[in-house]
Copies of this chain bind each other. A is one copy, B any other.
């Protein structure tokens, strides 16, 4: 058995992932995270849960919704068994959404760079003027 069985409770998982306890419970409620339970109904997580939560955070940060993640996770876990034309469609739509949003962010970042350049220049001149007064 490779089962090290080093189970942790929700507080530790929260500390190790940065996700709030509330969020972890929410993820479970959305079917994105599983846990075994203690006889007293306290949640127990394996080491693998840490990676799973990190994956969830990544996908959330990339703008995926809980629903979308719930649709795609089976494909992540069961490499090919759970794939349907619908899930493939979700993947491709999401990929498109990400592409357009990346484009918007790149353009916006360029705009910000111009603004930052102008702003630092302006503030530098202001500071110089103040120093020579």
Q: A120: which B residues are within 8 A, CB to CB?
A: 88
**Binding site secondary structure of chain A:** helix
Interface bracket on A: 35 or more
Report how many copies the assembly holds. Answer: 2
A47 to chain B, nearest CB (A): 21
- What 1/0 mask marks residues of chain A from 96 to 120 whose CB sits below 8 Å from any chain B CB? 0011111011111101110110111
A63 to chain B, nearest CB (A): 7
21 contacts between A and B (CB under 8 A): A61-B105, A62-B101, A62-B107, A64-B108, A75-B115, A75-B118, A80-B118, A83-B118, A83-B122, A83-B123, A85-B123, A88-B119, A88-B120, A91-B112, A92-B116, A94-B112, A95-B116, A98-B108, A101-B105, A102-B102, A102-B105
Which A positions have Cβ atoms within 8 angstroms of B?
58-59, 61-64, 72, 75-76, 79-80, 83, 85, 87-88, 91-92, 94-95, 98-102, 104-109, 111-113, 115-116, 118-123
Task: Give the 8 A-B CB pairs with smallest separation, nearest first.
Answer: A62-B108, A80-B122, A61-B104, A83-B119, A62-B105, A62-B104, A88-B119, A98-B105
